[in-house]
Structure 1
Amino acid sequence: MTETVIHLGFWELLIGSIVTMYMLIAGGWVLAKAGRSPLWILLLLFPYINVLAVWAFAFMRWPFVDRAPNSTEPGPADRN
């Protein structure tokens, strides 16, 4: 019986760790800008749950998009 074992070297692990950390930091920043908790990004680390998390995030309400416009700032029609 043969077993398949993946042996990763130092450089593969280092590059994989850097890419993963960049994904987590950039994704957390995007979530924070969208008005959500940056901790949502941790769901991307789990297989199958990550697909559901991205789907849920895409279809939930976005606080910064759905909020009422500020009445003190002139709109595009008011600038003329």
Structure 2
Amino acid sequence: MSLWHWLIAALWIALFVIPLWRVLPRAGLTKWLALIGIVPFGAVAMWWILAFKQWPGDERKSVSHD
């Protein structure tokens, strides 16, 4: 693999995997799930899961549209 491939891979990890690595434990999930972000569209799927998951600090049990 060329240098460009490695730079693109490092940029991908910096943009998608590292933020997931930091956010997932706050949501009550294992940080190792951040490695799904390496797979194309895996990071997008993880952000959707986080967006609609009930977080440990949530007091309400259902979603209200107030």
Q: How many residues are matched?
A: 58
Q: Considering Cα pairs closer than 8 Å and 6+ residues apart, tell me whether 1 or 2 has the greater RCO.
A: 2
Unmatched 5+ stretches in structure 2: 60-66
Deviation at 1:62, TM superposition (A): 0.5
- Correspondences of 1:10-49 after superposition (within 5 Å): 10=3, 12-22=4-14, 23-49=16-42
Higher fraction of helix: 2
Scaled by the length of structure 2, what TM-score is found?
0.56
Scaled by the length of structure 1, what TM-score is found?
0.50
State the percentage of identical aligned residues: 24
What's the RMSD between the two structures over aligned residues?
2.5
Does residue 17 of structure 2 align to residue 54 of structure 1?
no
